[in-house]
Amino acid sequence: MMVIILLGILGSTFLMVMAKRMPALIRSFCYQSFFLFLIIFITAFKENRLDLYVVAGLIFALKVLVIPYFLSSTATKIKVSESLGLFINSQLSLIIALVLTYFSWMFSKNLGFTGEYFSGIAITVAFSQVFIGAFLMISRMKAFTQVIGLLVMENGIFLLGVSIEEGMPFFVEIAIFFDVFVSVIVMGLFVYRINKLFTHIDVNRLSRLKG
Amino acid sequence: MQILFILTIPILLSVAVLFIKKQRVFGIVNSMGYLVILSASIILLKEIVSLRSSISYFGFIYLDILSAFFIFVVSVVAFAASLYSIDYIRKDTESGVISEKKAKIYYILFNLFCFSMLFVPALNNLGMLWVAIEMTTLISAFLVGFYNNKESVEAAWKYIIICSVGIIFALLGTILFSYAFSLSGGMKSLNWSDMVASAGKMDKNTLKIAFIFILVGYGTKAGLAPMHTWLPDAHSQAVAPISALLSGVLLKTAIYAIIRFGIITIKGVGFQYFSNLMILLGIISLAISCGFILVQKDLKRLLAYSSIEHVGIISIGLGIGGILGIGGAMLHVFNHAVTKSLMFFGAGNVVNKYRTHNMHVMRGVISTMPFTGFMLLMGAFAIAGMPPFSIFISEIMIICAAFLKGYYLVTFLLLGFIAIIFGAVVNHFSKSLFGNIPKGMAVVREPLSGKLAFLFLFVQICALGLVLPFIKKDLVWMVQTLFQG
Query: Over 60: is that where the pLDDT of B485 sits?
Result: no
Residue A112, number of CB atoms within 10 A of its CB: 12
Which residues on chain B are in Cβ contact (under 8 Å) with A119?
none
For the ranges A129-143, B44-58, B202-216, B225-239, the lowest mean pLDDT is seen at B44-58
Which pLDDT score, from 0 to 100, does residue A113 have?
A: 67
**Residue B466: band (very low, low, confident or very high) from pLDDT cuts 50, 70, 90:** low
The bridge status of strand B55-57 relative to strand B61-63 is antiparallel
A13-47 pLDDT tens trace? 999 988 888 888 899 999 999 999 998 888 888 88
C-alpha distances out from residue B138 to A122, A167, B113, B160, Å: 31, 25, 9, 7
A37 phi and psi, to 5 degrees? -60, -45
**Chain B residue with minimum CA distance to A143:** B157
Which pLDDT score, from 0 to 100, does residue B470 have?
A: 63
ipTM reported for the complex, 2 dp: 0.91
Option in B153, B161, B172 nearest A193 (CB): B153
d(CA B66, CA B48): 10
Q: Does B43 touch chain A (CB under 8 A)?
A: no
d(CA A29, CA A45): 24
B38-73 pLDDT tens trace? 999 989 888 888 877 778 887 788 888 888 889 999
Q: Does B150 touch chain A (CB under 8 A)?
A: yes
Whole-number CA gyration radius for chain B? 21
Which pLDDT score, from 0 to 100, does residue A114 have?
A: 60
d(CA B337, CA B175): 31
3-class SS of residue B90:
helix
Domain edges within chain A: 2-202
Mean pLDDT throughout A193-197? 85
d(CA A150, CA B333): 31
d(CA B178, CA B57): 22
Which of A18, A15, A52, A19 shows the shortest CA–CA distance to A36?
Answer: A52
d(CA B458, CA B452): 10
Q: Supply the pTM of this predicted model.
A: 0.92
**Residue B465: band (very low, low, confident or very high) from pLDDT cuts 50, 70, 90:** low
Which pLDDT score, from 0 to 100, does residue B4 have?
A: 85
**Chain B residue with minimum CA distance to A165:** B179
Residue B432, number of CB atoms within 10 A of its CB: 22
The continuous run of DSSP H or E covering B391 comes out as: helix B390-404
Size of interface A-B (CB pairs under 8 A): 117
Q: Does B287 touch chain A (CB under 8 A)?
A: no
**Chain A residue with minimum CA distance to B150:** A197
B395-443 pLDDT tens trace? 998 999 999 988 899 999 999 999 999 999 999 998 888 877 777 777 7
